[in-house]
A and B are shown apart, each in its own frame.
Chain A
């Protein structure tokens, strides 16, 4: 892999039919770049969970993916309501998702834990009423 590559995506509000578009596209590009299947799976899971979170909780948002020789950095920024209690949100099984979302098979409280599990570093910056930015890195 030569140069640093940057990919940008917009996640639209409440559109579950398009959830996963960014993750699928990133997955395809990483495959073309010859990234290992293990790293691709981690990125795909972390990014998809992030996309779903933005759709459920944050009226959509922006995703920036940076690919370098050493790592892949995922930055997911939204202008949603913010996370009131990060510690609780990080607990597997804790969810504030509405019933409508649960009927689609989400809202099991696994999103943030899955993102943490599949990334090498994860940082959450959040402010109530302003938004949340999640930054994850996956080592190559």
Chain B
């Protein structure tokens, strides 16, 4: 499944820029220390941790996109930063598990 295809699903709203990258798996974690060491490159990373360090971890681990669950969102400055750095960010009202399951079922 490609990152841009997430934007076509009802439950996911694109906040930054879309991409043609493949999503190769799903990773769930809110502790950035753990995400930094474990998030697989190419995965859709589902989290409720929405600060500037979330973007740094996403960029350094090469995840395919960030999914902000539980209706959590980035403020405008973070959305702009995500666009600048070419990081795809989506938000969803779904809880982390449900969001991850939805993506996983579509892979």
- State the A residues within 8 Å of B (CB): 16-17, 19-20, 23-24, 27, 37, 41, 44-45, 48-49, 52, 104-111, 113-114, 117-118
Answer whether residue B104 sits at the interface, using C-beta atoms and an 8 A cutoff.
Answer: no
Report the bound CA distance from A113 to B33 in whole Å.
Answer: 10
Stretch at the interface among B13-21, B52-60, B91-99: B52-60
B52 touches A108 (CB 8 A): no
B59 touches A105 (CB 8 A): no
**Residues of B contacting A114 in the complex (Cβ-Cβ under 8 angstroms):** 33, 36-37
Where chain B touches its partner, the secondary structure class is helix
Report the bound CA distance from A16 to B31 in whole Å.
Answer: 15
B45-78 interface (Cβ within 8 A of A): 49, 51-54, 56-57, 59-62
Q: Which of A104, A109, A111 has the most CB of B within 10 A?
A: A104
- State the B residues within 8 Å of A (CB): 30-37, 41, 49, 51-54, 56-57, 59-62
* Shortest Cβ distance from A114 into B: residue: B37
- In order of increasing CB-CB distance, the 8 nearest A-B pairs are A20-B56, A105-B32, A110-B33, A108-B33, A44-B60, A114-B37, A105-B49, A108-B31
> Which of B31, B36, B51 contacts A45 (CB under 8 A)?
B36
A37 touches B31 (CB 8 A): no
A24 touches B33 (CB 8 A): no
* Shortest Cβ distance from A20 into B: residue: B56
B36 touches A37 (CB 8 A): no
